[in-house]
Chain A
Amino acid sequence: MTFQEKLQQRGFMITSEVTPPKGTDISEVIGDVEGLKGRVDALAVTDGKNSVMAMTPLVLGHLLQGRGFETILHISCRDRNRLALQADLLGAAALGIGTLVVTTGDYASMGDHPQTKPVFDLDSIQLLKVIQKLGSGQDMAGNPLRGGAEFFVGATVSPIPGTEAALELQLVKMEKKVAAGAKFFQTQPVFDLLGFERFIKRAAGFGVPILASVLLLKSASMARFINKNMPGILVPERLIEEIGNAPDRVQASIGICARLVHELRSLCQGIHFIPVGWEKKVPAILEAAKL
């Protein structure tokens, strides 16, 4: 069953994030995800995440599909204008990649090429509308396509953005994304279950499946780094202490994630893992969470 079919039949979804390598050697990436075969419904390949230059996700996604994984292609508005975005989307469709997650993209100054000119010619909602149009056999300007490009498209949302105004804005934008064709949502990493529940209560009305992101906390110092540098995410102090004081931090990490996954299961339609190099620990987390 494909990702789309299972999601539409209201199955509980498991996806995992893959970050393309900085370089052309994909053996490490392949080795990391090998153990996820049969355990996840799809691998989501990121697009210049954190504004760090890496291989195009279009190519890695294609190579992963060749190795038997269904891939979800992330597509960000930061690096390409409307011509380049549409060109890559046609390429993705021709390669048989049919599922997308549309994102705005981190700002260029946050990555390893801070002098970059950020593009943002389209925003995520405008890009969703363009994808709808490609699906109807036309490019953005209304020219007919020889061979259409139909996609099953998701979008992202920040469920616990920290202020009332920000939550309202996220919900308004989410509604606009649904109207522009988003069929599912992937959230920013969740640590605060109460906050997430509050968000879900508000977002349930849109009737669109939501996959909660679970970020693997590898150490207390990583958690502190996230709190200091990663926009939109806050790791609670008690989790930092738990992993910091644990005799076996790998086991502690697996335990924290499994707990989160177990709790999130009753709140949403799926889990999206962000393993940041610990892909091999994902099966153990799924087992511990009884999934």
Chain B
Amino acid sequence: MISVEPRKSEEILKSLDREKGVFFIGCSGWKSLCNPGGEAQLQRMKKEMELRGVTFTGTMVVDALCNKGLDELSLLRQFRQVLRSQVLLVMSCEVGVQALSITSGRMTIPALRTVSAEGFQGVLGEKEPCRLCGDCLLDLTGGLCPLYFCPKGLLNGPCQGAYRGHCEVDPKKACGWELIYERLKIQGRLDGLQHYAEPRDHSEILPLIRLRSRLAAEMQDDVTLSPEGGSKR
């Protein structure tokens, strides 16, 4: 399953800081598969943000934000509110954030962090990739993930290997940071490049430890609750 957790409010607020007109869009997803929280979670987060002085132009919950066709239809449904909003706060996995960045053409700020897809064998959205790092920068990189588009996973801008826009690792591909630059330019948000991205917290990124603890806890519960009791494997 895909595991998502709410991002720290401070992190979200930092991205929202200077923004006027925030539209909050959430995903209900599939409970057994990704469970981003739906309407209830959206209202909880909205309330917390409002207490901290954020005003929203509107809210909406969509079934599966990773589906761009569905995104377009949903945005059309509330296009007036969306037009009045410079940014979209997105409560979904990071695939949904990226899909919405493309369909809306607006800055998308993740409200959740995607930390694991262990055991998940299904199809993740369409083409939007997510490395499940749990430390999302999509709001500062025009909705394109540098971990995916830059082979070196550089977080603070490009290396010096690109020439005429082509990546040193695969000259048939564009330099990921140039793609990010062009996207930010369209959004009028080139100042995002000035942001200093801290080194990754790999103790957070590696989901295995967390997952193992959870599985172990569940296993323990099963053993304790089983009527036979004693037969520990």
Contacts and interface: CB of A to CB of B under 8 A. Distances in A.
Given A107-B169, A126-B199, A162 B154 contact: no
A231 B158 contact: no
10 contacts: A106-B161, A120-B153, A156-B160, A162-B165, A166-B165, A166-B175, A166-B178, A168-B181, A173-B157, A231-B160
B164 interface: yes
B163 A161 contact: yes
Contacts, number: 103
B160 A158 contact: yes
Contact of B160 (A104, A163, A234): A104
Interface in B212-228: none
A110 B161 CA distance: 11
Nearest to B156: A125
A283 interface: no
B182 interface: yes
A199 to B, nearest CB: 12
Nearest to B169: A107
Interface of A: 78, 82, 104-107, 109-110, 118, 120-126, 140, 156-158, 161-163, 165-166, 168-170, 172-173, 175-176, 179-180, 188, 231-234
A283 to B, nearest CB: 29
Interface of B: 151-165, 168-169, 175, 177-178, 181-182, 185, 190, 193-194, 196-200, 202
Nearest to A179: B196
| Chain B at the A interface: SS class | loop
A162 B168 contact: no
A243 B219 CA distance: 73
A232 B159 CA distance: 10
Nearest to A156: B160
Given A105-B159, A107-B161, 9 more contacts: A123-B155, A126-B198, A161-B163, A161-B164, A162-B165, A166-B165, A169-B193, A173-B158, A231-B168
Contacts of B193: 169, 172
B232 to A, nearest CB: 38
Q: Which of A121, A170, A172 has the most CB of B within 10 A?
A: A172
A166 B168 contact: no
Contacts of B178: 163, 165-166, 169
Nearest to A122: B199
A82 B163 contact: no
A231 B151 CA distance: 14
Nearest to B198: A126
Contacts of A172: 157, 193-194
